[in-house]
Amino acid sequence: MASNDGVFSIIEELVRLLEDSRKSNREKIKDVSVLGSVTALQRGDYRLVNIAEALTLLDRLKMELPPALEDAERIKAGKREYLEKAHREAADLISNAKLQRQQLVDETTVMEEAKRKARLIEVTSQKQASELLKKSTDYILTLMGDAETVLVASVAKLNGTQVKYKKKLEAMKEAEELNSTTPMDD
């Protein structure tokens, strides 16, 4: 796998070669058999470069660039995959948050309904308990009144029976006294 450092170092070497060619133009002119326009070289519009060295650097650059470009493509694809994954995860998070929010809303609604029903049951229970207590009290008072009436009647009857037996007893005593005072005829 090629590194970007290799590509950049080759480019730097190529730039250095071009820079060096500017400095040494005058020396290179002496060695050139066909000078062409010497005035153009002297002005600096053209440079004399060692073509073999430049071609070697360009060949090395050609060798280094495809792997570097492949690396860049892999990094770019990885970035795209990472962003897609991040978008999916964000969408999942948002979806889960919405679901949780809805569950909380539903739970709140259920809780409020349960509280309302509980209050209704409590009020109804208190009302029923109050009515039952009143009916029980009324029934007990009625029973007590009936029992009192029966007791009064029973006491009166007992008193009447007592008086009757007292009279019978007194009559029997009188009769006995009479019988004891009168001689018997034998």
Q: What percent of the chain is predicted at pLDDT more than 70?
A: 81
d(C-alpha 64, C-alpha 70), whole Å: 10
Phi-psi region of 31 (alpha: psi -120 to 50; beta: other; left: phi over 0): alpha
Contact 58, 14 (CB under 8 A): yes
What are the tens digits of pLDDT across the range 137-147?
Answer: 999 988 888 88
pLDDT classification of 167: cutoffs 50, 70, 90: confident
Confidence of residue 35 (pLDDT cuts 50, 70, 90): very low
Taking 60 as the threshold, does the pLDDT of residue 151 lie above it?
Answer: yes
Residues in contact with 115: Cβ distance below 8 Å, sequence separation at least 6, in sequence order: none
Residue carrying structure tokens 């470009």:
69
pTM (2 decimals)? 0.35
Q: How far, in Å, CA of 50 to CA of 24, rounded?
A: 11
Mean predicted confidence (pLDDT) in 129-142? 91
Q: Is the distance from CB of 1 to CB of 63 less than 8 angstroms? A: no
Contact between 64 and 10 (Cβ < 8 Å): yes
